[in-house]
């Protein structure tokens, strides 16, 4: 196991894409509190504004750091197939389960570290603009930030599983962007159609939409025309997202052990 961990850690820290992805994620996430500070530094901060600033706008639009870490997760397995290094890797490390476990452990550690660094940077930016970050270590902001950490980790694991499942990068990238940004958004939008109101009960089981509940400081708001989706609480909704990630990784892991390469 130690050999697999050494291999994966060496692979991660010697790839330029690792530094580009982490650096880009940190910079883009930090741009959100900068924009908030420039636009509204004379306004008082409430819990929602603190959470949105510190998590880099992950609760609306694109969760920037999570997406970049998911791409690193895809690269963890997809690059091996794309560049034909999977065969020498399996020759050196024939225990396939140990190899996948090492990939999960190293990229999880990197994602957790990058998320904590991002939180520290974003909080510092907000402190520079407002002179304080009220409620940062108290609920509901504290729970929302812990949820943000969990969200990034699960999002990355989905990417890693997709890279292994598709044995490449392009298909996994399409799914990781298409599913949360288009498919789930369309389903949420269709709940406004009276004939499709049965979809209301489906929304709380949509993995990426449910995962977003991890980062909220209050009830989800989809606008005045949106129905009540009846979301589970923060951690139960995160469990829906985690189960989805586990299913993807479990299927990919099983196929990886059965396939020739």
For the segment 222-227, the average pLDDT, to the nearest whole number, is 74
Backbone angle region of 94, left / alpha / beta, with phi > 0 → left and psi within -120 to 50 → alpha: alpha
pLDDT tens per residue across span 92-145: 777 888 888 999 999 999 999 999 999 999 999 999 999 889 888 899 999 999
- Kindly report, residue by residue over 9-19, the tens digit of the pLDDT: 988 888 899 99
pLDDT class for 261, splitting at 50, 70, 90? low
Q: Are 10 and 106 in contact (CB under 8 A)?
A: no
Distance between CA atoms of residues 72 and 128, nearest Å: 31
pLDDT in tens, 41-100: 888 889 899 999 999 988 876 799 999 999 999 998 887 877 777 787 777 777 888 888
Quick one: average pLDDT of 4-25?
Answer: 89
Q: SS in 3 state form for 28-44? A: HHHHHHHHHHHHHCCCC
Output the six-digit token pair for 215. 């980062």
What's the whole-number mean pLDDT along residues 243-258? Answer: 93
pTM, 2 dp: 0.93
Provide the mean pLDDT of the chain: 90
| Rounded Cα distance, 142 and 123, in Å | 12
The per-residue pLDDT for 59 is 83
């Amino acid at each position: 196991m130690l050999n697999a961990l050494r291999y994966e850690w060496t692979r991660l820290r010697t790839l330029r894409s690792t530094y580009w992805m982490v650096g880009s994620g940190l910079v883009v996430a930090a741009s959100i509190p900068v924009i908030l500070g420039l636009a509204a530094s004379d306004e008082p901060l409430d819990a929602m504004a603190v959470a949105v600033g510190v998590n880099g706008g992950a609760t609306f639009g694109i969760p920037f750091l999570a997406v970049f870490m998911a791409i690193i997760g895809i690269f963890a397995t997809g690059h091996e197939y794309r560049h034909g290094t999977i065969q020498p890797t399996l020759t050196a490390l024939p225990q396939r389960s140990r190899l996948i476990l090492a990939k999960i452990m190293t990229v999880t550690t990197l994602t957790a570290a990058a998320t904590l660094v991002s939180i520290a940077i974003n909080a510092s930016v907000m402190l520079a603009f407002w002179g304080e970050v009220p409620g940062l270590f108290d609920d509901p902001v504290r729970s929302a930030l812990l949820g943000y950490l969990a969200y990034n980790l699960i999002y990355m694991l989905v990417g890693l599983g997709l890279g292994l499942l598709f044995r490449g990068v392009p298909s996994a990238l399409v799914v990781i962007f298409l599913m949360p940004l288009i498919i789930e958004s369309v389903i949420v939008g269709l709940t406004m159609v009276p004939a499709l109101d049965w979809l209301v009960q489906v929304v709380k089981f949509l993995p990426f939409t449910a995962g977003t509940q991890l980062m909220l400081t209050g009830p989800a708001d989809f606008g005045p025309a949106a129905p009540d989706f009846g979301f589970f609480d923060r951690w139960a909704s995160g469990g829906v997202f985690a189960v989805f990630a586990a299913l993807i990784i479990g299927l990919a892991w099983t196929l990886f052990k059965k396939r020739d390469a």
